[in-house]
Chains A and B, each alone.
Chain A
Amino acid sequence: AQKVTQAQTEISVVEKEDVTLDCVYETRDTTYYLFWYKQPPSGELVFLIRRNSFDEQNEISGRYSWNFQKSTSSFNFTITASQVVDSAVYFCALSESSARQLTFGSGTQLTVLP
């Protein structure tokens, strides 16, 4: 069975600091998909990025970057120069190739202080 672990329950940083959110996953599938979602206080989950298991190329999008390493089963997310508006709960999720459902980690509450 698949599992996603986000060991950091809460992180607090001061604005303009860089912050990395950790995600470790477990799956027996060789084909799987990884996702990051953001949940602001309003409640809806906002899609940020997805990666398939065959693409270990890291990605940078503006202030966001993702580091996918199959060797350590990790899919970490970094926010550079954090802003107060980045405050939210961030979820890492996994979907196996044969399933049309997401398995979520427990989430990391990020608070960016002014």
Chain B
Amino acid sequence: KAGVTQTPRYLIKTRGQQVTLSCSPISGHRSVSWYQQTPGQGLQFLFEYFSETQRNKGNFPGRFSGRQFSNSRSEMNVSTLELGDSALYLCASSSGQGNNLFTETQYFGPGTRLLVL
């Protein structure tokens, strides 16, 4: 079974631009969660999508948005990029069927490393 894939792996943007990152979950998985990893703030939850609907959201500004397609692939978008958005963005896929994360394992992709200049 193929793992979680994320594209692109590396990205360089300038302040004010917008960026779209893509995540393809493991086949059969319907839940995709996004996390941001920075040296200062560590790993922080952005949002979760299940069956094309945002099911859960972290504490990030509205510049961070996402969507999920019918094939469970997900994209996240960051508009008006700031220097502080430089980070490793990780997505995780899971079946999505459980009520909590104990009953299903989240599998993470390799991440997209975004550098904002």
Closest residue to B57 on the A side, CB-wise?
A101
Interface presence of A114 (CB below 8 A): no
| Interface of B (DSSP majority class) | strand
On whether the beta carbons of A102 and B106 are closer than 8 Å, the reply is yes
Q: Which residues of B contact A64 (CB under 8 A)?
A: none
Interface presence of B61 (CB below 8 A): no
Q: Which residues of A contact B58 (CB under 8 A)?
A: 101
Listed in ascending order, the chain A residues whose CB lies under 8 Å from chain B are 33, 35, 37, 42-47, 50, 52, 91, 93, 95, 97-107
How far is B56's CA from A91's CA once the two chains are assembled, in angstroms? 22
How far is B48's CA from A86's CA once the two chains are assembled, in angstroms? 30
Q: Add 10 more A-B contacts to A101-B56, A104-B42, A107-B42 (CB < 8 A).
A: A35-B101, A43-B90, A43-B110, A44-B108, A45-B92, A100-B33, A100-B55, A101-B45, A101-B48, A104-B44
How far is B100's CA from A46's CA once the two chains are assembled, in angstroms? 19
Q: Which residues of B contact A98 (CB under 8 A)?
A: 100
Q: Which residues of B contact A50 (CB under 8 A)?
A: 101-102, 105
Q: Which residues of A contact B92 (CB under 8 A)?
A: 45
